[in-house]
Amino acid sequence: MLCHFDETPPAWVEKGGFYKKKIYPTGMRVDWPKARTSNVLLKRHVVAGDNTPFRPEFRAGEDQDFFRRKIEEGRAFVWCADAVVFETIPPARWTRSYLLQKALLRGATARLQPTCTPASIVKSTIAVPLYAVALPGALLCGQSCFMRLLVRLCDHLGKLSMVLGIDPVRGPYVSG
């Protein structure tokens, strides 16, 4: 998936790469952390009998959860770089508040993934103060650098908040 802007976004948005997605070679077998539903073609039997292929408790990352469960069932998914799709990124999603709320939500739902282990919680506990201390230096490097670091900080804060029972994003999704 390639991002497309109908209008020119602020330079820090493009330079920060917030909407760049990694493209893999055609034929590569996709593991669940790399899988996404940006442009997916599935056979009907893959979801047949699954009443909730995308579970509502995953307010972000529900596609990764879907692929993880299907791979655990023995399904295989293959990347096709020739099936290019463009996602239009509207101006409402260029805002700092949108990017930070999305990061908090991503972190909050990360606790539902099997990769949320005690070690990953310790990592987040260490990352939050380190990133906070590094923010002034990142600002000196420019808005894109500052925002990339702040987004990472919010990913970790979201996870720690949910571990403590605090939902950092009250709504079901972050809309832009």
Cα separations in angstroms, 58 against 5, 11, 78, 84, 109? 27, 31, 24, 26, 6
Residue 16's pLDDT is: 95
Torsion (CA) 45, 49, 53, 57 in degrees, nearest 10: -170
| pLDDT average per 10 residues of sequence, the chain (176 residues) | 90 94 92 83 89 86 90 92 88 94 92 90 97 97 97 96 88 68
Question: How far is residue 3's CA from residue 164's CA, in Å, rounded to a whole number?
Answer: 35
Sign of CA dihedral 156, 11, 21, 40: positive
pTM (2 decimals)? 0.86
